[in-house]
Amino acid sequence: MQFGTLKLDACKYGWMLHSGKYIGKCLEMYGQYSEAEVHILRSFLGEGSIAIDVGANIGDLTVPMSRFVGDSGRVVAIESHPETFKVLCANLALNGLENVLPVNAFLTSSTGTVEKMGAWGPSAYVGDTWKPRQMTLDAFDMPRCDFIKIDVDGPELSIIEGGAMLIEKHRPILYVENEDRELSPRLLDLIMNGLGYRAYWHPAPIFDPANFFGNTVNHWAPDNIVSLMILAIPKERPQAVGELHPVDSADAWWPGL
C-alpha cells in the first residue's frame, strides 16, 4: 500500500511504513531488516528489560525491541532527523506500542559539540528545516538500563562520551556500530579500557535468505551489505556470546577488512 513516498507492509514484527534503498528495500522485499542484529537484540532483551535505541530511524529495530521487552519493559527510541522521526512515531502508533518513548534529539558528548557528522553530511542527521535539540545520553533519568544500541553513522564515540555516567551506573550491554576506521581506536579504547567492557566483533548482514517473505534473492548481490557492529559486555559479568570473536585491542580493525 502506497502513501505518498512511503509504502506500508505487514512485516515480521508488525506494520511498517518505509522508504529508502536499504531499510525500505529490505522491508519491501523481505518483510524484515537485518535479522542478524535482531538476533543479538533477542538474545539480550526479555520481558521487563529497559533499553535505549540511539539512531532508531523508522523503527526497523525499535519495533522488535518493543516486542521483546513486552508490556512491563521500556524502550527509549532516539532519532535526530525530524522527517524520519515522524515515520518512527507513525510505526509505533500503527503497532500500538505504548512501551516505547520516541525522542527527537541529536545526542552529543558532554561538551554539547558535534565533532564529526560522518560521511553523509551535516544535514543527514538533523534535516534542513527543523533542528532537533542537542542533549547527552546522561540526561536521561532512568531507574535501570539493560541494553543500549547505537547506530548513527559516525558520532558513536561522542554519544558514549556523553553517556559515560549512565553506562557506569547501570552497566548495560552495549551494541555499537563501528564503521569509521579513523575513530575506531578511540571508540574501542573508551569502551574496553575507559568503561571496562569486553568487546566482540559482530558483522551483521542485512540480507537473510531465510526471511519473513521467503524471498531468497539478494537484491544487492554479488555484494553482501554488512553492518559492522561491536557487542560489548561489562567485564564483571559472565556472559556467553556464542561464536563471536573478541576484539583483542583498541587498535584492532575488522578481521578481513
pLDDT digits (tens, 9 = 90+) for 160-205: 999 999 999 999 999 999 999 999 999 999 999 999 999 999 999 9
Domain ranges, ordered by start, for the chain: 33-234
244 φ/ψ angles, rounded to the nearest 5 degrees: -65, 140
Please give the average per-residue pLDDT across 112-117, as a whole number. 48
pLDDT surpasses 60 at 248 = yes
pLDDT digits (tens, 9 = 90+) for 21-67: 999 999 999 999 999 999 999 999 999 999 999 999 999 999 999 99
As given in the structure block, the three cell numbers for residue 84 are 524520519
Residue 53 confidence (pLDDT): 98
Contact assessment for residue 14 and residue 63, using Cβ atoms and an 8 Å cutoff: yes
Kindly give the pairing relationship between strand 226-234 and strand 197-205. Answer: antiparallel
Alpha-carbon span 85 to 104, nearest angstrom: 6
Alpha-carbon span 161 to 159, nearest angstrom: 5
Residue 156 confidence (pLDDT): 94
Contact assessment for residue 223 and residue 201, using Cβ atoms and an 8 Å cutoff: no
Share of the chain above pLDDT 90, in %: 79
More confident call, 226 vs 128: 226
Q: What is the mean pLDDT of the chain?
A: 91
User: Residue 170: is it exposed, middle or buried by C-beta count within 10 angstroms (0-12/13-18/19+)?
Assistant: middle
Nearest to 170 by CA among 193, 189, 195, 151: 195
The CATH architecture to which 33-234 belongs is 3-Layer(aba) Sandwich (3.40)
Alpha-carbon span 19 to 9, nearest angstrom: 11
pLDDT bucket at 120, cuts 50 / 70 / 90: very low
pLDDT surpasses 50 at 116 = no
pLDDT surpasses 50 at 113 = no
